[in-house]
Chains A and B, each alone.
Chain A
Amino acid sequence: MTTLAPTPETNLLLRMEGIYKSFPGVQALSDARFELRRGEVHALVGENGAGKSTLMKILGGIYHKDAGHINLEDKEVEILNPHMAQNLGISIVHQELNLMPHLTVAQNIFIGREPRAKVPFVVDDKTTNEKALRLFELLHLRLDPTTKVSDLTVAKQQMVEIAKALSFNAKILVMDEPTAALTDTEIEELFTIIRQLREQGVGIVHISHRLEELKQISDRVTVMRDGRYIDTLMTREARIDKIISLMVGRTIYESTPELPENPSQDVVLEVRNLNRGKALRDVSFNLKKGEILGFAGLIGAGRTEVARAIFGADAYEAGEILIKGKPVHVRSPGDAVVHGIGYLSEDRKRYGLTLGMDVKENVAMASMKKFLRWLGWMDFNKAARRGDEMVKALNIKTPSLEQKVKFLSGGNQQKVVIGKWLTADTDILIFDEPTRGIDVGAKSEIYKLLNDLAHQGKSIIMISSELPEILRMSHRVVVMCEGRVTGVLNIGEATQESIMKYATMRSEAVLATEQ
């Protein structure tokens, strides 16, 4: 690889040009572009909502483009459905796992093209299992084809997905955040497979948020922003901060004021040896008044589980929770609210808001009692006054208090949820991925709000998978891996590298049971 690959024209596998796609209310792609050569690992990067997944779903026949051209090996193609994409040699490993949990590993891999027995309509499970085993040997995977997928760990399920995608003899393999749930060793194994495939001339599209990782594996990198093509760089020559600035377009953290130091040493929440099956193992930590405590870790590390246990949404088997030094038993979210704990789910639309109701009703939702007169009549005027206060205090952009929250943007929806918990007089706020699905401009506003809340003496737990967010926005960082707390770092000593080290610190015991 001392010289560049032969002229792009002869080696070109795929060219997507002028792709437009809109969803109700959103222009997801406008003039998006992408090209891929044979034997190339091409990274596709951009912030959440930049349009990477949408573009790849168009390639995979899952979405239909509104306009544009797709050329595959110099022939224009219309990809109408996933089946067609498969036949053209395009395989996608989706971000969200796309497996049938009740079926076995082999049945999942060969779904839609099951080996048949001689009798019509009858599937040949024996051959299916043998073919799966041969595939695993080729990829050096250790999986039993007859295991039910629901019995596998997330990492193993991911491996099944990849094996499935590769089993099509794909010419193009798209991997959407394949490493999000994997540990370092597993990522290394995955990269070995990717390198093998590159040798064989497969074109690989690699979507990832971990830019360091792209440096290791990719040949070129294409940056997208707000549904548009921004630039394509040779990875070797591109510096990471250059890629970031292309992705962001401006630096989001600049407008956020520096997080002031938290002088308080008052512990408002202490968690001791929280346990629940494999999900939580001896989780202990404390939260101080006016502190933002970051929770870092890989997907499935147990951070959301901790939050839900503290909030009373899930039961825990053993352990103690103390609020301001007093042991409490939180049996339900109702109890949590009484104790002054609020939880802001990563999935606002499902767990945080009643989308069909308006702003003032949502603000009042967690503290209805305050707005009730006798016999359950609601005091709408009082709710409206409170809603109005929140709209002003939090700078919620809404045409009126009667606006249904489903018509608000992600950032403003998040503010409504914050308003809901402030109305309920909560002192402890648990934010689960506070800026997921929120556009760049609104992000810095949410950060400012977190700052203000902490400054006013609220205590905040902030679960986030974005390391820059953790590093910028927390006083201390709790790192979790496989249900355990593997490290608690003061912000001064925390770096992306130190956090990742703790986030992948698997215990010997766990490794042993999985071998």
Chain B
Amino acid sequence: MKSEPQAAQTVLPSDEPKTARSVFRSDAMQRVMAFGALIVLAIGFSLASPFFRTFDNFIGILLATAVNGVLALGVTFVIITAGIDLSVGTVMTFSAVMTAVFVTNWHLPLPIGILGGVLAGTAAGMVNGIVISRMKIPPFIATLGMLYATKGLSLVISELHPIYFNDTPAFREMAMGSVLGRIIPGFEVPNAVFIMFGAAIIAHLILSRTILGRYTFAIGSNEEATRLSGVNVAGWKTAVYTLGGFFSGVAGVLIASRLNSAQPALGSGYELDAIAAVVIGGTSLSGGEGSILGTIIGAFIISTLTNGLRILSVPQEWQMVVTGGIVVLAVFLDILRRRQQ
């Protein structure tokens, strides 16, 4: 730095030259690989079955991804903080049931009922956050507790029966109608798909641009250092779980709209699909790393796989075996990638 500012300028950007290896190690690579895997899957199934490569089937895959995709958004935030949320599936059901109670049983106006349903999920997430960050209960235990509590509450509130939205046909239109189909006849893509993409864009902006996103990464990267930097870690952690609850709430409204009913017994198992999507998408369970784009790709990989295997008449039991293998394989590939140093 004595007399050659130019030389200094040229070497500043990076400590080591960009070799093939360092590109392979980069985080963007993970997403490229995941996206590549999705394309390979889609091409493979298209070659294997003419039924897979139909427009209607692609719409089916998109629709099947919507609920899990929205759930996985919240889980992405939680896992980047090195936490876990096991309750997203049953919180989703709880929100669906609450929405039905507000709309069908109490005859509240539709927008208020929907808002109430989303808020119910948000509140559950906030309770998770408070239990974890103030009472210092490990996330695994706290959200396991919430899993049981919301599962039970849904059954209690609904008195064990599904609640239908038969009085409010507009509610079903929300997810299953197609604004796009009205604009471009023939392209009957259900609104649910756009709601998922909209939620994903919002989640991406929160994660990459806002203070909440920054602290989500910071807490997962080194919680103690974040605390020592004067950041209110307990508060921001609560916010992260609350956001997780919010997305569960949105998913709850979506699934209720799609089924035109709140099914109180539904929900368990959804949390595992959501976690799988996040992990396949390259978010590290040890925290500090992850992306919304990766999660959405992960969610698509799972639903494409399920859809394709079903079309090839693979029994549902075996579909689960394959999904399990894919989750482990994805993480193994990620570990291999990181080991290259």
CB distance from A505 to the nearest CB of B (A): 21
Name the distance in Å between A165's Cβ and chain B's nearest Cβ. 11
Is A147 a contact of B14 with CB atoms below 8 Å? yes
Residue of A nearest to B214 (CB): A123
Closest chain B residue to A515 by CB distance? B11
Q: Which stretch from A68-76, A92-100, A197-205 is at the chain B interface?
A: A92-100
The docked-state distance in angstroms from the alpha carbon of A513 to that of B214 is 31
Q: Which of A123, A147, A513, A514 contacts B211 (CB 8 A)?
A: A123
In the bound complex, do residue B214 and residue A107 qualify as a contact, i.e. CB atoms below 8 Å apart?
Answer: yes
Min CB–CB distance A255 → chain B (angstroms): 39
Chain B residues with Cβ under 8 A from A62's Cβ? 228
Q: Which residues of A contact B13 (CB under 8 A)?
A: 144, 146-147
Whether the Cβ atoms of B1 and A142 lie closer than 8 Å is yes
For the complex, is B227 an interface residue (Cβ under 8 Å from A)?
Answer: yes
Q: Is the C-beta of B218 less than 8 angstroms from some C-beta in chain A?
A: yes
Contact (Cβ within 8 A) B230 A112: yes
Residue B174, interface by CB 8 Å: no
Q: Which residue of A lies closest to B222 (CB)?
A: A100
- A510, chain B: closest CB distance, angstroms: 12
A contact residues around B220 at 8 Å (CB): 102
Q: Which of A60, A123, A153, A513 contacts B209 (CB 8 A)?
A: A123
Known A121-B210, A122-B209; judge A86-B230 contact (CB<8 A): yes
Q: Which residues of B206-228 have CB atoms within 8 Å of chain A's CB atoms?
A: 209-212, 214, 217-218, 220-222, 224-228
Q: Least Cβ distance of A152 to chain B in Å? A: 6
Q: A121 CA to B206 CA in the complex, in Å?
A: 9
By the criterion CB–CB under 8 Å, are B14 and A142 in contact? no
Chain B 1-35 interface 0/1 with A at a Cβ cutoff of 8 Å (1 = within): 10000001001111110000000000000000000
Interfacial chain A residues near B11, Cβ < 8 Å: 515
A156 at the interface (CB under 8 A from B): yes
Q: Is the pair A111, B14 in contact by a Cβ cutoff of 8 Å?
A: no
**Taking the complex as formed, is B110 at the interface, i.e. its CB lies under 8 A from any CB of chain A?**
no
Q: Are B222 and A151 in contact, CB atoms less than 8 angstroms apart?
A: no
- Please determine whether B14 and A513 come into contact, CB atoms closer than 8 angstroms: no
Chain A residues within 8 Å of B225, by CB: 98-100
Distance (whole angstroms) from the CB of B234 to the closest CB of chain A:
12
Known A-B contacts A100-B222, A144-B13; the reply to A82 vs B210 at CB < 8 A is no
Across the interface, do A123 and B210 meet the contact criterion of CB distance under 8 Å? yes
Is there an interface contact between B231 and A112, defined as CB atoms closer than 8 Å?
yes
Q: Confirm or deny: A103 has a beta carbon within 8 angstroms of a beta carbon on chain B.
A: yes
Count of chain B residues with a beta carbon within 8 Å of a chain A beta carbon: 29
Cβ contacts under 8 Å, A122 to chain B: 209-211
Considering the complex, give the chain B residue whose CB is closest to the CB of A116. B211
* A140 in complex: contacting residue of B1, B16, B229, CB < 8 Å: B1
Q: Assess the A98–B14 pair: CB atoms within 8 A.
A: no
Q: Is the interface of A mostly helix, strand, loop or mixed?
A: loop
Shortest B249–chain A CB gap in Å is 20
Among A82, A103, A156, contact of B218 (Cβ-Cβ < 8 Å):
A103
Residues of B within 8 A of A140 (CB): 1
The answer for the CA separation of A100 and B225 in the assembled complex, in Å, is 7
Task: List the A residue with the shortest CB-CB distance to B8.
Answer: A142
Q: Is B334 an interface residue (CB 8 A)?
A: no
- Decide if B116 is an interface residue (CB 8 Å cutoff): no
Q: Report chain A residues within 8 Å CB of B222.
A: 98-101
* Candidates B15, B210, B226, B289; contact of A153 at CB < 8 Å: B15
Residues of A within 8 A of B230 (CB): 81-83, 86, 112-113
Q: Flag whether B139 is at the interface (Cβ < 8 A).
A: no
- Contact, CB under 8 Å: B211 / A111: no
- B213 nearest CB neighbor, chain A only: A123
Query: Is B69 in the interface zone, CB < 8 Å from A?
Result: no
Interface of chain A residues 117 through 135 with chain B (CB within 8 A)? 121-123
Chain A, Cβ-Cβ closest to B227? A82
Q: Which chain B positions have C-beta within 8 A of A103?
A: 214, 217-218, 221
Interface residues of A in 258-310 (CB under 8 A from B): 277
- B228 surroundings in chain A (CB, below 8 A): 60, 62, 82, 94, 98
Q: Is the CB of B8 within 8 A of A151?
A: no
Contacts of B209 in A (CB 8 A): 122-123
CA distance A222 to B341 in the complex (A): 43
Contact B15 A147 (CB under 8 A): yes
Contact A142 B211 (CB under 8 A): no
Which residues B166-212 have CB closer than 8 A to chain A?
A: 209-212
Q: Is B282's CB within 8 Å of the partner chain A?
A: no
B288 on the interface (CB 8 Å rule)? Answer: yes
Contacts of B12 in A (CB 8 A): 142, 144
Report which of B14, B211, B289 forms a contact with A144, defined as CB distance below 8 A. B14
A101 and B217 alpha carbons, distance in the complex (Å): 10
A291 to B320, alpha carbons, bound, how many Å? 60
B211 touches A114 (CB 8 A): yes
Q: Which residues of A contact B224 (CB under 8 A)?
A: 98
The answer for the CA separation of A112 and B235 in the assembled complex, in Å, is 13
Within 8 A of A (CB), among B270-311: 288-289
Quick one: which of A94, A100, A142 contacts B288, CB cutoff 8 A?
A100
Q: Are B14 and A277 in contact (CB under 8 A)?
A: no
Tell me the complex Cα distance, A182–B256, Å: 61
Residues of B within 8 A of A116 (CB): 211
Distance (whole angstroms) from the CB of A503 to the closest CB of chain B:
23
Q: Please determine whether B15 and A277 come into contact, CB atoms closer than 8 angstroms.
A: no
Distance from B161 Cβ to chain A, minimum over Cβ atoms (Å): 42
Instruction: Give the top 8 A-B pairs by smallest Cβ distance, nearest first.
Output: A83-B230, A102-B288, A100-B221, A98-B225, A102-B221, A112-B229, A112-B230, A121-B210
A interface, CB within 8 angstroms of B: 60, 62, 81-83, 86, 94, 98-103, 107, 111-114, 116, 121-123, 140, 142, 144, 146-147, 151-153, 156, 277, 513-515
- Sample of 21 A–B contacts (CB below 8 Å): A81-B230, A82-B227, A82-B228, A82-B229, A100-B221, A100-B288, A112-B231, A114-B211, A116-B211, A121-B210, A122-B210, A140-B1, A142-B8, A144-B13, A144-B15, A147-B14, A151-B14, A151-B16, A156-B15, A513-B16, A515-B11
Known: A144-B13, A146-B13, A151-B16. 13 other contacts (CB 8 A): A60-B228, A86-B230, A98-B222, A100-B217, A100-B222, A102-B289, A103-B214, A103-B217, A112-B230, A114-B214, A122-B211, A144-B15, A151-B14
